[in-house]
Structure 1
Amino acid sequence: METEKLWKILFVAAVSLARMGQGMYLSIPGPTLLYLTELYSVDVSQIAFMFTLRAVGMMMGAAAYSFTVYKFKSFNPLSATGPCMLLIGIMTTLTPWCNSFVGFLASYFVSGFVFSYSDGAMQTLYLRIWDEDSVGPFIQSFHFGISLGSLIAPLIATPFLEEADQAGNSDPDCIPSSIETTVLPTSLIDLYGNGSSTIRFEAEYVNPVAWSYLIVGLFSVLVSLPLFYFWAVGLGGRIKMRGEDRLGGKYEEPIKDVWPVILPLAAYYFLSVALEATYANYIYAVAYCMGIGFTVTQAGRLNFMYYVGYTVSRFTAIVYSKYIKPRTIIACGILLIVAAMAAMCIFGQNIPLVIWISTFFFGLSVATFYPTGVTWASRVTDVSGKYMFVFLFSAGLDSMITMPVAGVIFETSPFYVMYLIAATAIGNGIVFIGMEIAARRHQKAHDEKSLSLQRNRDPTTF
């Protein structure tokens, strides 16, 4: 038993590092969004198409994973985690060196596919290692890893953004258009260039911000190695996992019984991830371009502030999720996020302090939605198998729609993106009410069915 516990600890540590890599991969476009527009000479609405293709990849990855689990009963989810993380690392590393915008978009499609596939595999393993009564804190820790990585990415990017800004003397009103692109920090170019046009010509092909992608990508490559190891040694033989015939009658319920729950759950995840992804990827550009005095450094710190709230929320949830019901956590998060966006929409255009405070509380509240939703769903029906697609498919669908829409709105007026997010927050609250109603009806029908089966088996007891 002690040996099994040790293997669980090591496995959780390895997955947490991998989730940090995934978080860095997801969040690095946020503070570097304007850099990407400069790199490929496109506007924000065009660069936002990368989120669409990544979302399509995520949806296809979710569908492919669910099909694999459903079709091949002996499939080992662990076999997908190492290779997928390795591919994410490679694709991220190559981003600044991709000579074609089309090639860049294609790489985001591939990385979205493998991200979604590995995400489903990791969550399946967590749901099989721990039952629905004890999985809550572990699911929260699972998602804490991704939030920690998301927190680190802006810290990595900000020094390079400052370097690029200083090199080009860019106009702080909005998108920098005159950033000098250098493969090395400008101080090194000045030191060794000696005014030589030959050396400067060879150096001027990559913006300093490229270093942030290199760091994030290499981290993902490194954290894939322990996952390869667990696959090689056979983790399933060292940690007891729940079988397919779990008692209680909830495992793999037919779709005709659970679709009233699945549909609002899918809508909830669509809106939840829309909130998270849109805010995280646009708050830097919105603050920088809205014209109330945010510099490159301040906008980067604002993006970091979002992830501070996000990370604090997921860290504390590891503890309090053991004692508080999932529906209570989600309901409180919805109320807080609506309040934060109300303050942002009313006062944000004139009072910078409101933007800082609202951003922190937005991150604090939105961080609870995804992991707590998994716990909520696992108490209604088993979602570790073919129904895992609900989380991943809905997350991909939201980015395919809301991110490009936000890009178009951004070009009309940067701050209007905040109105889109506020409307999404209110919609998510309405959908959650529908989820609760559907879950109670499903539980009632499940109890009546179980009672009927017991009566048929032993009618003398009634």
Structure 2
Amino acid sequence: MKLLDERIWTLFKRHWPQTLTYWSVFFSFGLCIAFLGPTILDLRCQTQSTLQQITWVFFTQQFFLMVGSSMGGLFKRTLLSSLSALLSCTLIISLVFAIIPLCNHVMLLSIAMALAGKAMGVIDTIANLQLVKLYQKDSAIFLQGLHFFIGLGALVSPLVADPFLAEDSCVVGANWTANSSSSPDLQHLRSSLAGHGAGLHNISQYPLHTEGVVITRVSYAFWIMALINLPVPAAVLTLMYHERLLPCSSSSPRLLSRDSLSSGQGHGRWFGCCNPAKLRGRPATFFILHTLGGAILFITDGIIGSYAGFVYTYAVSPPLLMGHKTAGCLDSIFWASITVGRLAFIYLSYRYTPPRLLTFSLVGVILVQCLLMIFYTSCVFLFIGTCVLGLCISSVFPSMLAYTEDLLDYKGCATTVLVTSASTGEMMLQVLVGSVIHSQGSYAFLLSSTIASFMGFSLFLLFLYVQHIHRNCHTDSSKENTATEDKPNTEGS
């Protein structure tokens, strides 16, 4: 039995340059989203700032990622504007990697991360939107591949950074030794900060020096990542050349027809499908589906962000009391399982419809969270549960995006709304869960995630009910339009 039928393979062969380019820009996205946690202590030394000051760069990156996601719709009018935006953003990411070693003040570092976050947000919206436009009803398969490359990039950047991280204190003063902060403590700090600085309230008791001679080699890691990322804007530029969107490419063959170069039909201005003229006559279900889809991804991406941010804190706290090195593997296992899950769901998206995949995924998330609460004293089950949770939740975003756009006839607005909601949820739920853990204890971490899982599944059931009503309304309106068109012909005969 073939893995993919001839129709899907033909579609891919027709659009492979665009598809591989959009996948590569998501690799760039993954590189940028995962490097900050492992390198944050070396960056603290470089900027000679406190932990409280340096962790603001996490918030800056996440906030501007959300801003960039919402702004991505500005560049969707034509293929030229979309590819130009992707070219600029991927170049910005390489530039940020190159200039981070030169940022000797935390404010400069925050500005650099704001630029990177905004570029990441624009990439997130445009790449998702362009793949949905290319493949429409078959987009779920290729969206799974797109999001696989985020995980791939997120796995590469910590591996690049690891050989250059300081093993002891990277700020050395005249009256104390480099060993004043021990390696185990630094390992604990790195793992606690890996989830976007979420564990700051648990590590603020560690005194770290800010004055002295800075000894760090992390600059080499950033310059290597800048070089690794450079082929990505080169790939975007190559696609622009083949699409004859550059002045020097007028003689090259056009990959797309002239009609497909413009996405003006249903993809006008920022949230163009939601302007008053186009919204007139839309059923209420049109707006409710946008809202519910965004809310589901707000919760599920929030679960991903909060779990990655606090699973280490939970593991080293009572009753588990894991060792720092053992607990530090949990975050890597979680992201690796998400990456493997998205790779597996490329095939599953071909075999099963998005509603079935979403039902399976969301039910699986609930079951895993409930089992984690029941076996909360088992270190072994925490590793198993972390792996299974990553596999289950990995497909929710691409499947939800493809399904919602299909229901709403690929107007483009849903992609911007869903991507922005997901990035907002990833930022906000970490703050909420962090405050709950701080006030109620580490077990609240599992309880909060389980409650969020039930809320997400309940919203999905409501989403299925509303989509049923929406399709009935769409069918009724189509029948009315057909009857209206046929009526004059009947009278004339």
Aligned CA distance change for structure 1 residues 292 and 30 (closer, same or farther; 3 Å): farther
1:449 corresponds to 2:477: yes
Q: Check whether the contact 2:373–2:447 (CA below 8 A) recurs between aligned residues.
A: yes
User: Among 75, 78, 82, which residue is 1:77 paired with?
Assistant: 82
CA offsets 1:226-267 (integer angstroms, 9 cap, x no match): 112212332673134486669xxxx95844431011111111
Q: Check whether the contact 2:34–2:154 (CA below 8 A) recurs between aligned residues.
A: yes
Aligned-partner Cα distance in 2 for 1:310–1:25:
17
Letter in 2 for 1:170: S
**2:235 counterpart residue number:** 226
**1:385 counterpart residue number:** 412
1:239 corresponds to 2:246: no
Q: Taking structure 1 as the reference length, what is the TM-score of the superposition? A: 0.80
Give the superposition deviation at 1:411. 4.7
User: Among 111, 116, 126, which residue is 1:106 paired with?
Assistant: 111
Give the superposition deviation at 1:308. 2.3
Aligned-partner Cα distance in 2 for 1:75–1:113:
20
User: Among 275, 280, 284, which residue is 2:308 paired with?
Assistant: 280
Aligned-partner Cα distance in 1 for 2:221–2:316:
20
Q: Helix, strand or coil for the counterpart of 2:183? A: coil
Q: Helix, strand or coil for the counterpart of 2:81? A: coil
Aligned CA distance change for structure 1 residues 346 and 175 (closer, same or farther; 3 Å): same
Unaligned segments of structure 1, at least 5 residues: 178-202
Letter in 2 for 1:78: L
**1:128 counterpart residue number:** 133
Aligned CA distance change for structure 1 residues 259 and 4 (closer, same or farther; 3 Å): closer
CA offsets 1:179-210 (integer angstroms, 9 cap, x no match): xxxxxxxxxxxxxxxxxxxxxxxx95254556
1:395 corresponds to 2:422: yes
**1:21 counterpart residue number:** 28
CA offsets 1:388-411 (integer angstroms, 9 cap, x no match): 221222123223422333444455
1:59 corresponds to 2:66: yes
1:11 corresponds to 2:18: yes
**2:396 counterpart residue number:** 369
Q: Helix, strand or coil for the counterpart of 1:382? A: coil
Letter in 2 for 1:434: L
**1:190 counterpart residue number:** none
User: Among 381, 386, 402, which residue is 1:354 paired with?
Assistant: 381
Aligned-partner Cα distance in 2 for 1:17–1:230:
12
Deviates more, 1:11-20 or 1:207-216: 207-216
Deviates more, 1:59-68 or 1:324-333: 59-68
**1:147 counterpart residue number:** 151
Q: Counterparts of 1:30-429 in structure 2 under 5 Å? A: 30-32=37-39, 41-43=49-51, 49-69=56-76, 72=77, 76-95=81-100, 97-132=102-137, 134-160=138-164, 163-164=167-168, 168-172=181-185, 175-176=188-189, 204-205=213-214, 207-208=216-217, 211-234=220-243, 237-240=254-257, 241=260, 252=273, 254-255=278-279, 256-257=282-283, 258-288=286-316, 292=320, 294-348=322-376, 350-383=377-410, 385-409=412-436, 411-412=438-439, 413=441, 416-429=444-457
Aligned-partner Cα distance in 2 for 1:36–1:283:
23
RMSD: 3.7
Aligned-partner Cα distance in 1 for 2:188–2:105:
21
Deviates more, 1:449-458 or 1:89-98: 89-98
Q: Check whether the contact 1:81–1:118 (CA below 8 A) recurs between aligned residues.
A: yes
Aligned-partner Cα distance in 2 for 1:155–1:290:
30
Aligned-partner Cα distance in 2 for 1:357–1:300:
15
Deviates more, 1:364-373 or 1:268-277: 268-277
Aligned CA distance change for structure 1 residues 302 and 266 (closer, same or farther; 3 Å): same
Give the superposition deviation at 1:387. 3.4
Give the superposition deviation at 1:384. 5.5
Q: Helix, strand or coil for the counterpart of 1:238? A: coil
Letter in 1 for 2:255: R
What is the total number of aligned residue pairs between the two structures?
429
Aligned CA distance change for structure 1 residues 74 and 16 (closer, same or farther; 3 Å): closer
Q: Check whether the contact 1:340–1:361 (CA below 8 A) recurs between aligned residues.
A: yes
Give the superposition deviation at 1:449. 0.5
Give the superposition deviation at 1:221. 3.2
Aligned CA distance change for structure 1 residues 18 and 171 (closer, same or farther; 3 Å): same
Aligned-partner Cα distance in 1 for 2:165–2:448:
27
Aligned CA distance change for structure 1 residues 215 and 431 (closer, same or farther; 3 Å): farther
Aligned-partner Cα distance in 2 for 1:235–1:406:
49
Aligned-partner Cα distance in 2 for 1:23–1:345:
30
CA offsets 1:70-117 (integer angstroms, 9 cap, x no match): xx5675311111210121232244445532223333333222211111
Aligned CA distance change for structure 1 residues 351 and 29 (closer, same or farther; 3 Å): farther
CA offsets 1:265-294 (integer angstroms, 9 cap, x no match): 111121121112222344345445668454
Aligned-partner Cα distance in 2 for 1:41–1:286:
27
Give the superposition deviation at 1:296. 4.8
**2:194 counterpart residue number:** none
- Identify the structure with bigger relative contact order (alpha carbons < 8 Å, sequence gap 6+): 1
**1:187 counterpart residue number:** none
CA offsets 1:7-50 (integer angstroms, 9 cap, x no match): 73233233323212211222233455666677765457x65544
Q: Helix, strand or coil for the counterpart of 2:136? A: coil
Q: Taking structure 2 as the reference length, what is the TM-score of the superposition? A: 0.75
CA offsets 1:343-387 (integer angstroms, 9 cap, x no match): 333433x32212211110111111111100111112201345333
Give the superposition deviation at 1:455. 0.6
Aligned-partner Cα distance in 1 for 2:25–2:474:
37
Aligned-partner Cα distance in 2 for 1:226–1:160:
29
Aligned-partner Cα distance in 2 for 1:32–1:416:
28
Q: Check whether the contact 1:24–1:149 (CA below 8 A) recurs between aligned residues.
A: yes
Aligned-partner Cα distance in 1 for 2:237–2:217:
32
Aligned CA distance change for structure 1 residues 164 and 455 (closer, same or farther; 3 Å): farther
